[in-house]
Copies of this chain bind each other. A is one copy, B any other.
Amino acid sequence: MKNKEIPELVVRRLNLYARCLGYLEEMGVLTVSSKELGDRLGIADTLVRKDLSYLGEFGHRGVGYYVSQLRHSIRKMMGADKPRALVIVGAGNLGLGIGKYHQHFLDNHRVVAYFDTDPEKIGQSVEGIPIYPMEKMEEIVAGMGVELAVLAVPKDQAQRAAEKLVLAGVRGILNFAPIALQLPPTVRVAYADLTLELQNLAYFLEKEANSTSPAGFVISRRRKEE
């Protein structure tokens, strides 16, 4: 019902719902209740309804939500209904790996360029996507109106590359380098920090190793069946 700021946590879940709804749509499911949707994602039904209420009133009492309609409403609100160009900075193993792996899942996002410093790579193209020198960034990015970038350069080049992206007009960066970027607050940065994630996982192994719990074996399942 509200119209303004959607909290970040809610945005994340809305995108999760949209993906799940896409899956349901493929399966030919027509309606879904908040309970059912929540169960698939390990989220309480009441929270699902609260999240969805940010979009307006799309539910039908006694029935649930129309899968396709709800999905489109969320995607519209999230801006996932319009195509978006994307550049990847760093055409090394990681950058190319990401580009190739996600080619299929990118949905409305499309990789339009790689950037790299390596003269060997510059001028080549990968699956039809050209690799440009860093110096061309402003030209290409500004020229095409690209606003999203993936940053996959070595740690010590990340800050500089990020600044160049911002100068060229990028407003959202998905950063793979294990470093906190210092950028203007108008630029949104998401961190894909694998080292940190691994350390976080390790803590929970460590914790369980230390707790003297009776070593029973795995029985229940975390979430309901998909």
Contacts and interface: CB of A to CB of B under 8 A. Distances in A.
Interface of A: 6, 8, 11-12, 15-16, 18-19, 40-42, 77-80, 84, 86, 92-102, 105-109, 147-148, 150, 152, 155, 166, 171-174, 176, 178, 180, 182-188, 190, 192, 194-209, 218-226
A174 B199 contact: no
A201 B174 contact: yes
Copies of this chain present in the complex amount to 2
A157 to B, nearest CB: 13
Contacts of A204: 171-172, 188
Counting from the closest, the 5 A-B pairs by CB-CB distance are: A97-B97, A79-B206, A172-B201, A94-B101, A184-B218
Nearest to A218: B184
25 contacts: A6-B203, A18-B199, A19-B178, A40-B180, A80-B199, A86-B198, A93-B99, A101-B152, A101-B176, A102-B195, A105-B155, A105-B178, A105-B195, A107-B195, A148-B202, A150-B194, A171-B205, A172-B201, A172-B205, A174-B194, A180-B223, A182-B224, A183-B221, A183-B222, A192-B197
